[in-house]
Structure 1
Amino acid sequence: MLHRRHTAAAAATATALAALLAAAPAALAQAGMNTTSLQHEVVLDNLQTPWDMAFLDDGTMFFTEICEGLSVRMPDGAVNKLLGMDDAQGYASMADDLFCEGQAGMLGVAVDPDFAENRRIYVFSASEMSDPQTNRVMRLVVNEDFTDVSERTDIVDDIPYKVAPTDHPFGAPGAHNGGRIRFGPDGFLWVTTGDNHNPEIPQSPTLMGSKVLRIDTDGAAAPGNSPPEGFDPRTYTYGHRNVQGIAFHPVTGAAIIAEHGPWHSDEITVLVNGGNGGWDPRDEMAGRGECPDGYCGYMPNQMEGMNRFERAAFMPMTDFETYPDAMPPIWENNGWSQGTSSAAFLEGEAWGDWENAMVVGIMGIGFGGTPIGQRIDVIELDEEGTSVVDVTEMTLPMDAGRFRSVVLGPDGSLYAAVDEGMIHKMTPGQ
């Protein structure tokens, strides 16, 4: 059985980060600081790397901890541990096949739109039930008093998982899983997946990494998906690197993703049914030459003597030269890669001018003990929701952290989970 194995940053990683950050400006905010007065509350602390949250209308909050499991916080503040993994303690039920390693573990959580009738929730987790291991989306039923779950059904069991390291500098097991799951306004479940540092996955029609899946609650392809001929019908879009944010525009309903860049260019993209994200790290593409293990995602020679724009030209996040019809990003983080995680939309009049704006949590890059770029950006879109008109760094009422998840609660507050073990609640001032 596998056990939790969070890996430390490799020396090669630190060296590469040093080269990148040497050119970074002292302040990375893209616009003036906002004047919104946010009230702040720590909802939970002393957690073990909380990863995601999902709410019921009464404020009941399901949340995951990447190496622990699934829990629920009741409206009165009580916490019940529901489904544990590996050697976690105190959970009502255990799943011995679930494990965490590197970036993998129990990640996304979503509540069924018909929860009041069927009491179903969904979680994304790494599992060793099969050989090789995979990432899975599991459907669970919550009991009446929110103290346990049952009827586990793995509705997706074939999302690739990176089993072993390779020769390139970023070869740690468990890398690039995606892992965010959200129900869209269409009632279908959307699942984001990553490339596992495998050069063949992004453009593959059958490997379910580097995709955004759109499925029903049994795991079947949602009607209306239109991927290219020969693709798995669950595919809504493909050619992604590592999507960990997806949200739906409150007016248009369009699906919009936030995606981790390599050594440059985190991206926000409005999805087009059947569209290609344009990520293709194979070494035979565009005459790049041989790359370690065939993966050109961020090989060392991309760092030496190149600025971020030259790196983007060598290994583009969205390769329009090869794929001229690829979906164009609407935001590129000023050419930086700083760890975009989840995304949500601010809804309600209390948010003022920011109503219907998109927020993106950015984990930042840690180097030499000093985090760079940890923040929440407010992305204001045009009326059609297809282009960015302004970007503002949110003035936070608490210390910044590695923002792993941002979720709008049923009370209109913005909840933020940080790797440092807390879930924050931010409410716009009156």
Structure 2
Amino acid sequence: MYRPMMGALACALAACATPTGVTTGMQPAVPSLSHTVVLTKLDSPWDMAFLPDGTMFFTEKCQGLSVRHTNGTVVKLLGMKDAKGYASIANDLFCEGQAGMAGVAVDPNFASNRFVYVYSSSSLTPPGTNRVIRLRVNDALTAVSDRTDIVTDIPYKPRASNHPFGGPGAHNGGRIRFSPGDGYLYVTTGDTHNGQVPQSPTLLGGKVLRIDRDGKAAPGNGAPAGFDPRIYTYGHRNPQGITFRPGTHQPFTAENGPWHSDEVTALVPGGNAGWDPRPNMAGRGPCPDDYCGYSPNQMGPMDPKQRAAFMPMTDTRTYPNAMRPAWNNDGLSQGMFGATFVSGAQWKAWNGRMLVGFGGIGIHGTPVGNRIDVLDIAPNGLSATRTTVNLPMPAARFRSLVQGPDGNLYVATDEGTISRLTPN
């Protein structure tokens, strides 16, 4: 907000403009951001999680789990197969395509139980699955032990698949977050390019799971009769962001769309997100490998004139009670990944709003998006207005956005950096 009284008085007498040129009157100003590089030369950093003192755990998709101490020292804790320099190695953990070590979360009771969780692909169950793994960190934050795989049956797309779109490990999901409201762990999973998965009551792909620290179903998930009780919502394509609105703690996903309609959606217990890429649904005919997720333009560049004919991300014709998205990226798919609500007076006009990061690869292998947007989501979660952040750093493929305990925004990019964005 405006600090000098004369500035506030002047704004009361004349229209005031934010740095983006939007007239605000007496409204809080839009913050400007400064940029500090925290870590460089990383190998595809995927996610971050903090202790209250600022200690940061982070994952690298094809390397493993590390921790950055408050003095800046980095210790490599758990490495994947063929990784070097880690305190311990798990040879069953592997990286392939979009799969690898993805999300990381710190237990809300870390001070007493020392638990950290990661989402990673594993070969323990052939041909591979995604697992949620619980680890105990020692007091010095230099090693992990007591590995417990609390979820072992999240689907993974194997190399043997003949699917014409994307390689092994595609549509892998992988964000994990503890809700500050109920204290349970939420896990996002992808549809693995398998048409049967998103609406399946038993397969855990294309879902958001809600579990306790032992991997058991949390009470009140609301899944329909016959569904795996760990399922909180289903009918997802590839949600790679999950975050919780300050105050209400309602979960929202940020989800990749099929050449169109990245979506942000407010979740409700037992809700169906409306993605169903099976053939013979809603009048569809056969599709390559029985996956209609890119129908009707199955191959080649997207014709903008055809966009309205594409299979919808949220199919309300087939599922009239599906959860409606708050925002659909103006009908575009640009690789929406991490998402977080920011809070605190330092965020001025953005206090309580959602930030989403983009950085997809276009159909010709070209970068698209490469930006951060701010969403002002309506209280009912059914609509939103968007503005784009004026970045103080080069555009990048944003993989994760996390508000740290210092109130600043930390961003991980596929360019191998983790940076701090400070509002001013």
* TM-score (normalizing by structure 1): 0.89
Give the structure 2 partner of residue 327 of structure 1.
Answer: 323
The superposition leaves residues 191-236 of structure 1 with CA deviations (integer Å, 9 ceiling, x where unpaired) of 0000000000000000000000000000000011111110000000
Structure 1 letter corresponding to 2:416: G
Give the structure 2 partner of residue 317 of structure 1.
Answer: 313
Give the structure 2 partner of residue 103 of structure 1.
Answer: 98
| 5+ residue gaps, structure 2 | 1-19, 23-28
Aligned partners of 1:53 and 1:109 also within 8 Å: yes
Correspondence list, 1:49-64, <5 A:
49-64=44-59
Q: Partners of 2:126 and 2:62 in 1: how far apart? A: 20
Give the structure 1 partner of residue 410 of structure 2.
Answer: 415
- Given candidates 264, 270, 273, the residue that maps to 1:268 is 264
Correspondence list, 1:1-400, <5 A:
36-184=31-179, 185-298=181-294, 301-302=297-298, 307-308=303-304, 310-366=306-362, 371-382=367-378, 384=379, 386-400=381-395
SS of the counterpart of 1:108?
Answer: strand
Q: CA RMSD in A?
A: 1.8
- Tell me by how many angstroms 1:349 deviates: 0.2
Aligned partners of 2:259 and 2:302 also within 8 Å: no
Percent sequence identity is 64
- Tell me by how many angstroms 1:284 deviates: 1.3
* Structure 1 residues 374 and 46: alpha-carbon distance in aligned structure 2, compared to 1, 3 A threshold: same
- Tell me by how many angstroms 1:327 deviates: 0.5
Aligned partners of 1:66 and 1:100 also within 8 Å: yes
- Tell me by how many angstroms 1:168 deviates: 3.9
State which drifts further: 181-190 or 280-289: 280-289
SS of the counterpart of 2:333?
Answer: coil
Aligned partners of 1:361 and 1:404 also within 8 Å: yes
- Tell me by how many angstroms 1:164 deviates: 2.6
Structure 2 letter corresponding to 1:390: T
| 5+ residue gaps, structure 1 | 1-30
Aligned partners of 1:135 and 1:160 also within 8 Å: yes
Q: Partners of 1:295 and 1:370 in 2: how far apart? A: 24
Q: Partners of 2:296 and 2:382 in 1: how far apart? A: 33
Q: Partners of 1:305 and 1:341 in 2: how far apart? A: 22
* Structure 1 residues 318 and 117: alpha-carbon distance in aligned structure 2, compared to 1, 3 A threshold: same
Q: Partners of 2:96 and 2:240 in 1: how far apart? A: 17
* Structure 1 residues 399 and 316: alpha-carbon distance in aligned structure 2, compared to 1, 3 A threshold: same
* Structure 1 residues 32 and 95: alpha-carbon distance in aligned structure 2, compared to 1, 3 A threshold: farther
Aligned partners of 2:217 and 2:230 also within 8 Å: yes
* TM-score (normalizing by structure 2): 0.90
- Tell me by how many angstroms 1:364 deviates: 3.5
Bigger RCO of structures 1 and 2 (CA < 8 A, at least 6 apart): 1
Aligned residues: 398
The superposition leaves residues 150-200 of structure 1 with CA deviations (integer Å, 9 ceiling, x where unpaired) of 000000000001113544431411111110000002100000000000000
Q: Partners of 1:388 and 1:286 in 2: how far apart? A: 26
SS of the counterpart of 2:78?
Answer: strand
Aligned partners of 1:262 and 1:337 also within 8 Å: yes
- Tell me by how many angstroms 1:40 deviates: 1.1
SS of the counterpart of 1:158?
Answer: strand
The superposition leaves residues 399-428 of structure 1 with CA deviations (integer Å, 9 ceiling, x where unpaired) of 011000000000000000000000010011
Q: Partners of 1:77 and 1:44 in 2: how far apart? A: 9
- Tell me by how many angstroms 1:36 deviates: 2.4
Q: Partners of 1:364 and 1:35 in 2: how far apart? A: 26
Aligned partners of 1:110 and 1:182 also within 8 Å: yes
Q: Partners of 1:141 and 1:263 in 2: how far apart? A: 40
